[in-house]
Amino acid sequence: MSRLLKKDQVRKDIVYRILSGQYLVEGRVPPERELCETMRVSRITVRAAVDDLVREGVLRRDGRRGTLIEKIPRDKSPAAKRVALKQMLFIYFSSVKGHLVSRTGTSSRIYHGVERFANEHDYVLRVQSGENFMRQSSAECKEIDGIIAGGARLEQHLPVFIESGIPTVAVDSIPHRLHVDAVSGDYYEAGMLAAEKCISKRLRNPLFIQLRFGDENFTQPNLLMRQRGFFDALEKEDGIEGHCHIVCYDDLAEAGSGVRELFPILLDKKIDGIAYCADIPYLTLMKYPEIAMLPAVIIGGRGEHYSKQPDNAPDVIRFDMEHVGYLAAQRLHERINNPHLGITRNLIPAGTAFVTDAQADSSDPLYNFRATHVEGRPPCRPEK
């Protein structure tokens, strides 16, 4: 292979990593030596590829800071010139600094669903953190054909997308009073299912552990809906009193005040079981014997992660977040092709409330029992 072809391949790899979100705008490209090792080429080849991207304005050399990513690149290959592929952008506003959108947590599972649809329908998919996107110029946004947006404080950011005129679908949240399509897990129902698990265990004083992030003085909407569903279901039962305690994300790693306050509550309220709003606090708090011994229900997460605790494994209310992402991309595709469609909101049932074991193993992205079309109706409940 000639050096020219190797150089073009390195350039292509760097561009792909920017478009896929592995390298972020205003972030730094790895040093030449690291690129040489990962791509198995010479430093001369890497330098030539970087030089090309610097001339195109995609990268910028900045002395001791290294080579920085200046903007999202455009694909100038002959194939791209022959066929103008539509571009879909996945944006996630995370409450955790440095969160890798496409690699960790709920956002990564949603992203994989979006990516699967994009690959099946020949879209160019980009992924960015919300903070990076908000730093972009309006000119760069004109290249985008559609946006899937999710994460924290979404209702504050969605008006920007709506005003831009770019077709947009909200994911993992139902943004009330905003003219935008949305696909989300039915978190209210998930809270009710968690309560039903506690009732079936004959608990009398279950504790609901809620989570907040960083300096946020509010509970994120999808977490709050889990809490509401949980306590609404408990209200219908006699002889059971639910309690709630909020822990902050930063407290978990360092056993902060929210964690320390938890232990006297366990004693004073005679807590006999715990419902976790998400798997994040569970994974951290399980190291304390006083908590690990209690029966637990987790809303979200993956059951196979807790199989190492056969003696006291928690019940898990699962969401197929990859399917949520796939449906969001599907709706965006419909919206791009027909801007005059009416607004729809889709709630995806939690866990296996309406699913047989055989159906739960299905790999078909369009299996109908997962999607519940909702237009101003309360979430449906299974018959008892």
Total number of domains constituting the chain: 3
pLDDT of the chain along its 384 residues, tens only? 344 478 888 888 788 777 766 677 778 888 888 888 777 789 999 999 999 999 998 999 988 888 998 887 765 554 444 345 789 999 988 776 655 565 557 788 898 889 888 888 888 888 887 777 776 656 567 778 999 999 888 888 888 888 888 999 999 988 888 899 999 999 999 999 999 999 999 999 999 999 988 777 788 888 999 999 999 999 989 999 999 999 988 888 777 888 999 999 999 999 999 999 988 888 788 889 999 899 999 998 765 556 555 567 888 998 888 899 999 999 999 999 998 889 999 999 886 443 333 333 333 333 233 333 333 333 333 333
Per DSSP bridges, beta strands 181-185 and 345-348 are parallel
Q: Which amino acid is at 42?
A: S
* 3-state secondary structure (DSSP) of residue 313: coil
Which of 62, 79, 96 corresponds to the end of one domain? Answer: 79
Per DSSP bridges, beta strands 372-374 and 345-348 are antiparallel
Q: What is the pLDDT of residues 34-87, one digit of tens each?
A: 888 777 789 999 999 999 999 998 999 988 888 998 887 765 554 444 345 789
Range of the domain at 33: 3-79
Q: What is the pTM of this model?
A: 0.69
In a domain, 382, yes or no: no
Is 264 in the same domain as 180?
no
Is 75 in the same domain as 154?
no
Is 227 in the same domain as 191?
yes
* 3-state secondary structure (DSSP) of residue 174: coil
Query: What is the spatial distance between Cα 24 and Cα 27, in angstroms, rounded to a whole number?
Result: 5
CA distances from 98 to 94, 245, 254, 266 (A): 9, 27, 19, 34
Q: Name residues whose C-beta falls within 8 Å of residue 48's C-beta, 6 or more positions apart in sequence.
A: 3, 7, 10
Strands (E), 223-323: 243-248, 273-276, 296-299, 315-317
> Residue 279 is part of a domain; what is its CATH number?
3.40.50.2300
